[in-house]
Every structure is written in structure tokens, then in C-alpha cells.
A and B are shown apart, each in its own frame.
Chain A
């Protein structure tokens, strides 16, 4: 209660700061981690920045998509499977093609998978089955389709495509500007769109109280379809980034399932409530990078990779416990 009181009296800039405190916090955390990482390894430079940026691209895209869907009051367990689908279609059909065809396939994939996931949103509206169940089922369908298109890892992509997502035509080293821009531009665009456009605000309204939004005359059903379409487009981008980074397609079910679960973790750590209607998309960009960066940091500290996974899990649970405990304490006070 005291918080709200301060916020109404405070300077507008301070008010914005308070409202986006969590987002600021996760970006500061990322900055601190980067700084720490730079002291851990002997030569920290462009190579590390490029590698961290490009390796976190798939998760960041997926987390942005998941964030929009969660804000709109849903959850999409099929994003990882859509990533697989985009990844294998790109790997299978882009290999050895001229740049024009590669670009056309890329655009078609983003648009097509957006449409595909919009259809999933439509099915959720139509059937009245909870989001988590519908997308659980479609995750099987899409990963099956991906396996059918590319039965075993293989395929490839064009050097230009690899440059766009990794900063180098061969996927090794290179400049950090292309991947950094490819990460920040969609993040900023989607975050601004959600916060300022009419449709974006409808997502927040529908996610926070569906009935109230409906009674206020907002088209709640359309907002869900739009959210799922954006989620699909981001998953397609994630698949393209994946093929650019690895240079091949990989249809394994576990890759998709792992990516989905990581995207949910990034969203929650980014301060977006799974109950919907709360949070800022821009925060998940930082948490997505943080989740990917923890591994090289822990390995640089001399922790083996199994223990690194344990520590990552403990950190996620720990951060959420601190958040939960502080909420409980606030409740007690008021």
C-alpha cells in the first residue's frame, strides 16, 4: 500500500523507475554477471560478446514470444516444437540455394509459423480447452512433423543467413553487431508495441481480467489469436537463429521440450506473472541471456557442467523463493 502512495506522489521519472523496477533489476544483474565474467577469463573481448549474444538468440526469441502469450493470459508449450519445425524446414530447403530464395524461405517461415500458431490460438478459443493442454498436444504434432520433414540431423543454410544471426558467414567469431541488433530490435519493438499500441494494451487487459476486458468491449478472442501469432513468429525466428548458429537442422524432440521449458523459466524470472496481465517483455531479453550465460560463467569458474546445471536450477528456484517470500512478508505488513 505504501508503495502505491509513494508512486502517486513521486516524480514521473521515479514512478516509471518504480514500476519497472524488476526489469531494471534483471538488466543490472546481467550487467553485473558480464562484468564478473570479464574478470574470470584472461581475454574478454568481442569474441565472448559475439558468442554469448548469438548463443542466447534462440532462447531470447522464444522467451519474447512466450512473454507476449503469458501476458495475454495463456501459456504455449508448443513454442519449442515450432522452433524445431522452423529449424528443420530452413535446414532442409535453404542449403545451397541463392540468397534470394533463402530470404524468401525465411520470410515465409516467419509468416507461415505465425499463421500456424494463430490457428492454435483460434482452436483454444473455439474448444474452451485450457491453453496448456492444447499446446501440449500441438507440441507433439509439430515435433512429429519436424521429424517427418528431416528424419535425422542434417541440412544447412546460406552464409548470409549465418552472418545475420551470428555476425560471421561461417558461424565462428565475427562481429557482435548483427546478433546484438537481431536480439535488441525485436525485443524493443515487441515491448513497445505491447505497451503503447491499442492491441498490445488489449493483451494486458485480457490477461489481467478476461471478463472485465470483455465487458469493456475489447475483443478478447482476437487478442489471444494475435498473441499466439506473435509467439509463432518468434519461434520461427528462433528456429532460423538455431540453424544459423549450428549450421544444421536438428529434429530431436528433447531439444524442443528443453527450449520450451527454458522459455517459461526466462519469462517468470523476467517478472512476468504466469497468471497473466503483468510484466514487461523487455525484461525477458535480459533473463534469456542470463540463463544462457550462467553455463560458461560456471565453467569458467571451474565448475563441471553437471554441477553447473544443478547450480542453475538452485538459482532459479532460489530467486523465485526470495520473490515469493518478499510477497508473503509484504502481505503480513499490510
Chain B
């Protein structure tokens, strides 16, 4: 062993140093991955390497990024929310239903849906100590049943959202910056500030790390946990309203495809599914990487089967790479 270290050349040592540096700044590695994927996509479809390509990537990533924000905050506490996509769909439906009353009312009603469902999830997980996987899974089934029934009764015919919501979801500010990206930017700043600078954020990390210790330190853990689920519900509702605005029409499959990617984006971004480790900046990169990957696979036009296989393989490779990179430090 010691002989091996002695004959290590200068180049190898430099490589080792670079690796340590990357291990300490894994976000840099993610940025490299993003740029590489972006360039590969550009090589496949030259039109992609333009302002338009960047705009499309951001536009695609915005709802995913907001859903992944909900997932990130919960994963930091050691939880998860499998009902985010059904909350998003439900919020979009209610917003469409309230659209005749004006966009303000519609958005408020949609967000209230997220607030309400998030609170129920939170009470189940924080007060009744139901495993988050099961609580949110059951909630997802409940919402699917409710909204399938309601689309034929109280929500019947409400598939069109107000023009303002369409502008918010699909339009662009000054014709260049999509409004949904601005909303995402606002959400991102708020979430990052909450996690890094607020006492609440510190408690989120602390609970994920060791909730017994936090409880013994005198914190009402259940309140913090409950608030995290409420936040998750609200974020999911915002993502749903943006999605409804982008597609213009709302249906029950509106957000379904985003569930696994929302978890994957947080994981690729380095947030531990066991809690206490990670942050939202990584998740933003994860969402961007997955969006570019989606564009790349669409441009390659290989069919859905190959798309799924490549998507899975790349998510696995990224998670593996991230794990081996950070374990070394």
C-alpha cells in the first residue's frame, strides 16, 4: 500500500486533488453534467443551441422544479410526498372551475386546495405518525377517486383555465422570459432562503438528521413536520396551476408523469432520501438535467421504449456517480 502511494506520479496526485475538490463541490460536477448533456442535445438538434433552446428547457423544467422543491423539503425531513402530482392536478381543476370568477380567485382557490390536502397529509404523518410513503400514497388514491367523480359532477365542464393563468403558464415576459420561469425563480429564492437562513430551515435539517434529539431539545417536532407538508401541498398546487396554464386545458393525467422525475430530480441533486443532507440548489440542477435529457430523447426520436430505458440508465448512472464522488471525501 505505502509503495503504491510513493510511486504515485504528480499527474495522479493532481487528479486526486481535482477529485477531492469535486467531492467537496458536487454541484460543480452537476453543472458539468448539465452542460455536457446540453451540448450533446445541441449536436443532435442544432436548433437547440439557441436562446430558444434555453427558454424551452427552462419552460419544461419549471413545473418539475417546483414539484421537486416540495420533494426536497420533505426528503430533508426524512419524508416523501407521493401525492404531489394528484394535488397539482386537483389544484389545476379547481383553478379551471373558478376561472370564470377571475384569475385571482382561481389561483387562490387552487392554492387553497394544496394547502388543505397538504395539511391532511401533515396531520397524518406528524400527529398520527403514519409512514409518509403510505399516507401520501393513500392520499393520492383518495384524490384520484374524488376528482374522477367530481369531474362528472361539481367540476363538470371546467377544463379551460383563465387567460391570465394561460399567460402565466405558457407566456413570456417582454416576449423572452417565460412567466413560469419567473414564478419558479421566486419559489427557488424563497425555498433556498427558508432552508439556509431561517430557523425553520435549520429545524428541517435537524429533524431529518435526528428527530429524537430535536424533540429532546424542546422543539415541537410535529409542528415543523406538519408545516413542511403544508408547504409541499402549496408548492404542488402552484406547479399544477402553471401546468394547467401551459397546456390550456386540464385533465386527470395533467401531472401524473411528473411523480417519479420529481423524486429523481431531488436525488440527482444530492438530497438524501433518508433526510438531513442536501439542498434545493442541487435539485434545481437535477430538474434542469432531467428536462434536457427529456428533450434529447425526444429529438433522438427513438420511441418510448428506448426513451424509458435510457432515462432509467442515466438516472442510475448520475445517482451512482454522485454517491461515489461524495463518499470519497
Residues on A close to B: CB < 8 A? Answer: 123, 127-130, 132-134, 136-145, 147-148, 151, 253-254, 257, 261, 264-265, 268, 274, 304, 306-310, 312-314, 316-317, 320-321, 323-325, 327-328
CA distance A142 to B264 in the complex (A): 17
The residues of A that contact B319 with a CB separation of less than 8 Å are 127, 129, 133-134, 137
Closest to A147 in B: B305
Beta-carbon contact of B305 and A145 below 8 Å: yes
The residues of B that contact A129 with a CB separation of less than 8 Å are 316, 319-320, 323
The residues of B that contact A320 with a CB separation of less than 8 Å are 124, 128, 130-131, 134-135, 138
Q: A141-B313, A144-B308, A316-B134 are in contact. List 9 more A-B contacts (CB 8 A).
A: A130-B274, A137-B264, A140-B309, A141-B312, A268-B133, A306-B148, A313-B138, A313-B142, A328-B129
Q: Does B307 contact A (CB under 8 A)?
A: yes
CA distance A139 to B315 in the complex (A): 11
The residues of B that contact A134 with a CB separation of less than 8 Å are 316, 319
Q: Name the distance in Å between B47's Cβ and chain A's nearest Cβ.
A: 27
CA distance A132 to B260 in the complex (A): 11
The residues of B that contact A306 with a CB separation of less than 8 Å are 145-146, 148-149
Given the interface pairs A274-B133, A321-B124, the reply to whether A314 lies near B312 with Cβ below 8 Å is no
CA distance A136 to B263 in the complex (A): 9
The residues of A that contact B146 with a CB separation of less than 8 Å are 306, 310
Please list 28 pairs of residues, one from A and one from B, whose beta carbons are closer than 8 Å in the complex, sorted by A's number: A127-B323, A129-B316, A129-B319, A130-B273, A136-B264, A136-B267, A136-B315, A139-B260, A140-B308, A141-B309, A141-B313, A144-B307, A144-B308, A144-B312, A148-B303, A265-B138, A274-B131, A308-B145, A310-B141, A313-B141, A320-B131, A320-B134, A321-B124, A321-B128, A321-B130, A323-B130, A324-B130, A328-B128
Within 8 A of A (CB), among B288-329: 303-313, 315-316, 319-320, 323-324, 327
Closest to A306 in B: B149
Chain B contact residues, majority secondary structure? helix
List 5 A-B pairs, minimum CB-CB distance, nearest first: A140-B312, A144-B308, A309-B145, A313-B142, A144-B309
Beta-carbon contact of A314 and B309 below 8 Å: no
The residues of A that contact B49 with a CB separation of less than 8 Å are none
Closest to B260 in A: A136
Interface footprint category on B? 35 or more
Beta-carbon contact of B316 and A138 below 8 Å: yes
Within 8 A of A (CB), among B236-256: 256
Beta-carbon contact of B137 and A265 below 8 Å: yes
One digit per residue, 1 when the CB lies within 8 angstroms of any chain A CB and 0 when it does not, for chain B 116-143 equals 0000000010001111011101111110
CA distance A123 to B315 in the complex (A): 14
CA distance A257 to B313 in the complex (A): 18
Q: Does B231 contact A (CB under 8 A)?
A: no
Closest to A328 in B: B129
Q: Does B82 contact A (CB under 8 A)?
A: yes
Closest to B253 in A: A254
Closest to A126 in B: B320
Given the interface pairs A130-B274, A325-B128, the reply to whether A137 lies near B312 with Cβ below 8 Å is yes
Closest to A137 in B: B316
CA distance A265 to B138 in the complex (A): 8
Q: Name the distance in Å between A168's Cβ and chain B's nearest Cβ.
A: 31
Beta-carbon contact of A317 and B149 below 8 Å: no
Choose one: A133, A254, A317; the contact of B134 (CB below 8 Å): A317
Q: Name the distance in Å between B292's Cβ and chain A's nearest Cβ.
A: 17
Beta-carbon contact of A317 and B131 below 8 Å: no
Beta-carbon contact of A264 and B145 below 8 Å: no
Q: Name the distance in Å between A65's Cβ and chain B's nearest Cβ.
A: 17
Beta-carbon contact of A310 and B145 below 8 Å: yes
CA distance A310 to B145 in the complex (A): 5
Closest to A325 in B: B128
Beta-carbon contact of A309 and B144 below 8 Å: yes
Closest to B314 in A: A137
Q: Name the distance in Å between B237's Cβ and chain A's nearest Cβ.
A: 19
CA distance A200 to B316 in the complex (A): 29
CA distance A147 to B312 in the complex (A): 14
The residues of B that contact A274 with a CB separation of less than 8 Å are 131, 133
Beta-carbon contact of B323 and A317 below 8 Å: no
Q: Name the distance in Å between A206's Cβ and chain B's nearest Cβ.
A: 17
The residues of A that contact B306 with a CB separation of less than 8 Å are 144, 148
The residues of A that contact B324 with a CB separation of less than 8 Å are 127-128
Closest to A261 in B: B137
One digit per residue, 1 when the CB lies within 8 angstroms of any chain A CB and 0 when it does not, for chain B 167-178 equals 000000000000
Closest to A253 in B: B308
Beta-carbon contact of B323 and A141 below 8 Å: no
Closest to A148 in B: B305
Q: Name the distance in Å between A229's Cβ and chain B's nearest Cβ.
A: 19
The residues of A that contact B141 with a CB separation of less than 8 Å are 309-310, 312-313, 316
Closest to A275 in B: B131
The residues of B that contact A140 with a CB separation of less than 8 Å are 260, 308-309, 311-312, 315
CA distance A265 to B140 in the complex (A): 12
Given the interface pairs A133-B273, A138-B316, A140-B311, the reply to whether A314 lies near B305 with Cβ below 8 Å is no
Choose one: A137, A264, A313; the contact of B133 (CB below 8 Å): A264
CA distance A309 to B142 in the complex (A): 6
CA distance A137 to B274 in the complex (A): 17
One digit per residue, 1 when the CB lies within 8 angstroms of any chain A CB and 0 when it does not, for chain B 139-171 equals 111101110110000000000000000000000
Beta-carbon contact of B134 and A265 below 8 Å: yes
Q: Name the distance in Å between A249's Cβ and chain B's nearest Cβ.
A: 14
